[in-house]
Amino acid sequence: MKQIVTGDAMPTLKTNAATLVAAARARIEEIETADAIAMLDDPHVTFVDLRDIRERQRSGAIPGSFHCPRGMAEFWIDPESPYFKDIFGEDRRFVFHCASGWRSALTVATLNDMGFACAHLKDGFSDWLRHDGPIDSPGGSS
C-alpha cells in the first residue's frame, strides 16, 4: 500500500511506534536499572549500547559497554553475515540499551526472533543516569 502525502496531511499507519515497543516488551527480558548497575562488575555480562555515536559522545557511556549501532545489530550478531563481530559469538550475557528503552526493546525482540539470547535495560541510559550509575565521561574511549 503506497502512502501519498500532500500538503499537511499525515499518513495513517497500521501500527504506531509505541504499540510496536509495547508488543516487544511483552515478550523480551527487561532488566531494571538497579539490577543492571549491580551486574556491571560481572565479567560474563556485556552491555551493548545501541545509541548513535553522538549520543555516547554527548552523554557518556556505561563503563566497558560495547557500541553497536542499532542499524547493524542484526548483521553483527549473525555468524553467517560478513559483518559478524566476534564479541557476539562469546559465551556471555548481553544486555542491550538505548536512551529510553524503546530502540533496545525493538532490537532485542528482533534478535530473540533470530535465536540470539539477550535482554535489555528496561528504562535505558537516561534512567541509568537518574540512578547515578557509573559512566565513562562524554567523549571517553568506551
Q: Containing domain of residue 56, as a range?
A: 18-130
Residue 38 lies in a domain: yes
CATH of the domain at 94: 3.40.250.10
Residue pLDDT, tens place only, 81-120: 999 999 999 999 999 999 999 999 999 999 999 999 999 9
Output the CA–CA distances (angstroms, integers) from residue 66 to 11, 28, 45, 63, 86, in the order listed.
Answer: 37, 20, 11, 9, 12
pTM beyond 0.85: the answer is: yes
Nearest CA to 121 out of 25, 27, 43 is that of 25
Residue 13 lies in a domain: no
Residue 103 lies in a domain: yes
Structural domains of the chain, count: 1
Residue 138 lies in a domain: no
pLDDT at 1 (0 to 100) = 54
Nearby residues of 101 by Cβ (< 8 Å), 6 or more positions away: 21, 25, 30, 120, 121, 122, 123, 124, 127
Q: How many CB atoms lie within 10 A of CB 31?
A: 21
